[in-house]
Structure 1
Amino acid sequence: MCAANSPRILATKPYDYLLKFLLVGDSDVGKEELLNGMDDGASESPYYGFSSCGVHSKTTTILLDGKRVKLQLWDTSGQGRFCTIFRSYSRGAQGILLVYDITNRWSFDGINRWLREVDEHAPGVPKILIGNRLHLAYKRQVSEITAESYALKNDLAFFEVSPLCDFNVQESLAELSRLALKRNGMSRTWGPNKVLSLQELACRTIVSCTTIYGIDQLPLPPRLKSHLKSYAMTNKTRSTRMHSFIHRDKLKKLKYLNPTESPPNCRKSCCIS
């Protein structure tokens, strides 16, 4: 008989872990842009665009330390009348993306309200703060230092992203996935005492000697490059998180923050040629 009919083959999953994430924030901050920007390997839910409940969803798969992590991303509408929907969909959520628009100060101020909702209905669930529409940095109303200090105060990982130029979207999902898997008792995947396979050891050695951009220049098959990048992505999010904690005290000493100040040089920003 054909091997495909074997129960053992049929039982094989196309992913190693499955996680459910919620995107929350005020309306018009670009949550749907984030979903629509996930074209590579993403598939829409059959309920996508189901307007009677105001919830959109999408699934995508990322690589994290060589593991396939399937993500179910749910976008609950930011309008106040949908708060009850958020409460119902928050059950079973394993990660929360708190999204605001860097060109809209009002949306950033609204994060406090959403954070209270999350803490009430999904206590202990890992959260990250997302500043969306970085490609509009020249119109920003929320400075990076303001958002970063807020994130540190509330123990949140923080990313500024742009789906338009594919900047920091995968990195933010990778960081939230790492936090969610760690919380759910799978930290041994990244634990320091884990015995590494020869393949994992080789991947970690390569990414420690180059950057994610350097990997693209290596004469390797595309599939192997993607596998390597998943390790490089994890290293980057770790170092970003560590860098934030190193500067925590420095940020706490700042007495005045200019909300309209843009970074003097933008390659923490994305640029579109």
Structure 2
Amino acid sequence: MAGVAWHYVLKFIITGDAAVGKSSLLIRLTDQRFLANPDPTLGVEFGSKLITIPEENKVVKLQCWDTAGTESFRSITRSYYRGAAGCLLVYDVTNRQSFVHARSWLKDVREHADPHLTCILVGNKVDLCSDAESADAEQTVSTSQESTSHRPRRKREVTTDEAELWAKEEGLLFVEASAKSGVNVEFAFEEATRDILRKVHSGVFDDERSPGVKLSQPRNDSLTLDTASQKSSCC
């Protein structure tokens, strides 16, 4: 890569119960593909992605830490919350307990991450619900679509209105998504990124001292967005 190819580097964490689809959301973001049966995350997994925010004329590198959702890894994953500027708090719309437990995950995040962190509540697996068709119709961004006809339908256990109300009460952004079809996956990260950049502009985040927000100075104003997945072994 010639020169600096992004304006900001933002640290994101992805948290929530096991099996809600956190790893699948990250793989959909970075690789534009879906794993039907991903291996359980042991500790944390890492992925990165370059996205563009047209209205800001900015290219942003997202460094995303996918954390394990089991209690045995909780003390380990908490250490990765430190300094995070963005968070995807994920639950499964067909599993009510995962939504109930989101309150505990949010408490952990707020105790250990940057106090000004932007959190977006993501209701995953809408493709499994009987109303998946309506969610597809509301897709915000263009993604590669895959057939979900062979996937067994499940009963929705968390309504959109209930989750949206709780998100509003807690000051969270909110979206329903599907790692399977790609619906709203990039949109979730983009909306959180927009909110973080608004905080940077207003001085809430200091891009020189906030560990989850780093400013890069490109060599020129003509940046080429690399849409391929960007992988790294470091934070």
Structure (1 or 2) with the greater helix fraction: 1
Q: 1:35 to 1:100 in 2, by over 3 A?
A: same
Pick aligned residue for 2:198 from 161, 168, 182? 182
State which drifts further: 80-89 or 21-30. Answer: 80-89
Of all paired residues, the percent bearing the same amino acid is 41
Q: Which residue of 1 aligns with 2:147?
A: none
Tell me if the contact between 1:135 and 1:165 (Cα under 8 Å) persists in the aligned partners: yes
Q: Which residue of 2 aligns with 1:147?
A: 163
CA distance in 2, matches of 1:124, 1:62: 22
CA distance in 2, matches of 1:187, 1:133: 35
SS of 2:129's equivalent in the other structure is helix
Q: Which residue of 1 aligns with 2:177?
A: 161
Tell me if the contact between 1:22 and 1:73 (Cα under 8 Å) persists in the aligned partners: yes
Tell me if the contact between 1:94 and 1:125 (Cα under 8 Å) persists in the aligned partners: yes
CA distance in 2, matches of 1:27, 1:158: 20
CA distance in 2, matches of 1:166, 1:76: 20
Tell me if the contact between 2:30 and 2:47 (Cα under 8 Å) persists in the aligned partners: no
Pick aligned residue for 1:84 from 51, 75, 84? 75
Tell me if the contact between 1:41 and 1:61 (Cα under 8 Å) persists in the aligned partners: no
Q: Which residue of 2 aligns with 1:124?
A: 116
Tell me if the contact between 1:105 and 1:142 (Cα under 8 Å) persists in the aligned partners: yes
Tell me if the contact between 1:127 and 1:176 (Cα under 8 Å) persists in the aligned partners: yes
Q: Does 1:70 align with 2:70?
A: no
TM-score (norm 1): 0.59
Q: Which residue of 1 aligns with 2:125?
A: 133
Q: Which residue of 1 aligns with 2:13?
A: 22
Structure 2 alignment gaps of length 5 or more: 34-38, 131-154, 204-223, 228-235
Structure (1 or 2) with the greater strand fraction: 2
Q: 1:95 to 1:155 in 2, by over 3 A?
A: same
CA distance in 2, matches of 1:38, 1:143: 25
RMSD: 2.6
- Report the number of matched residues: 174
CA distance in 1, matches of 2:167, 2:73: 25
Q: Does 1:173 align with 2:164?
A: no
Tell me if the contact between 1:99 and 1:132 (Cα under 8 Å) persists in the aligned partners: yes
Tell me if the contact between 1:59 and 1:71 (Cα under 8 Å) persists in the aligned partners: yes
Structure 1 alignment gaps of length 5 or more: 1-8, 43-48, 189-222, 227-273
Tell me if the contact between 1:101 and 1:133 (Cα under 8 Å) persists in the aligned partners: yes
Give the deviation of 1:14 after TM superposition: 1.4
Q: 1:79 to 1:41 in 2, by over 3 A?
A: closer
SS of 1:28's equivalent in the other structure is coil
Give the deviation of 1:15 after TM superposition: 1.2
Q: Which residue of 1 aligns with 2:87?
A: 96
TM-score (norm 2): 0.68
Tell me if the contact between 2:86 and 2:118 (Cα under 8 Å) persists in the aligned partners: yes
Give the deviation of 1:124 after TM superposition: 2.5
Tell me if the contact between 2:29 and 2:186 (Cα under 8 Å) persists in the aligned partners: no
Give CA-to-partner distance per residue, 1:15-49, whole Å, 9 cap, x none: 1111110000000000011012124589xxxxxx8
Q: Which residue of 2 aligns with 1:114?
A: 105
Higher RCO structure, 1 or 2 (CA under 8 Å, sep 6+): 2
